[in-house]
Amino acid sequence: MAVGDVKRIVCLANSRMPSGRCIAGRELQTAGRPSPWLRPVSGREDEGVTEAEYRYTGGGGARLLDVVDVPVLGSQPAGHQRENWLLDPERRWANAGR
């Protein structure tokens, strides 16, 4: 995975945490391939995603069952959470459908 890539997920979780949101989903890949879980995380210690970070370019934010393009900087596994990916806070998320 190169720096500055985008991961496309179906949003299956969007829950509150004290420091923001925990957003996760299954990555969309080519037909017939298993799609691993992906959880965008911030670079902050608590890893929570703020509203400003998960807002779409045109407004609004990630909702359950949205297909979302999430800009990431790279894999960021933490202990048992192998699905963590460090989000790129300089780039906006994009809604790619439902």
Q: Are strands 84-87 and 37-41 parallel, antiparallel or unpaired?
A: parallel
Give the model confidence (pLDDT) of 35-60 as tens digits.
889 999 999 988 999 999 999 988 89
Taking the C-alpha atoms of residue 12 and residue 14, their distance in angstroms, rounded to an integer, is 7
Taking the C-alpha atoms of residue 3 and residue 59, their distance in angstroms, rounded to an integer, is 25
Where do the DSSP E strands lie in 18-75? Answer: 20-27, 37-41, 67-75
What is the mean pLDDT of the segment spanning 17-24? Answer: 92
Is the pLDDT reported for residue 67 higher than 90?
A: yes
Give residue 32's pLDDT: 63
Give residue 3's pLDDT: 55
| Confidence bin at 30 (pLDDT 50/70/90) | confident
φ/ψ of residue 23, rounded to 5: -115, 135
Give residue 57's pLDDT: 84
- Picking from 90, 85, 89, the residue whose alpha carbon sits closest to that of residue 8 is 85
Under CATH, what is the fold of the domain 5-97? OB fold (Dihydrolipoamide Acetyltransferase, E2P) (2.40.50)
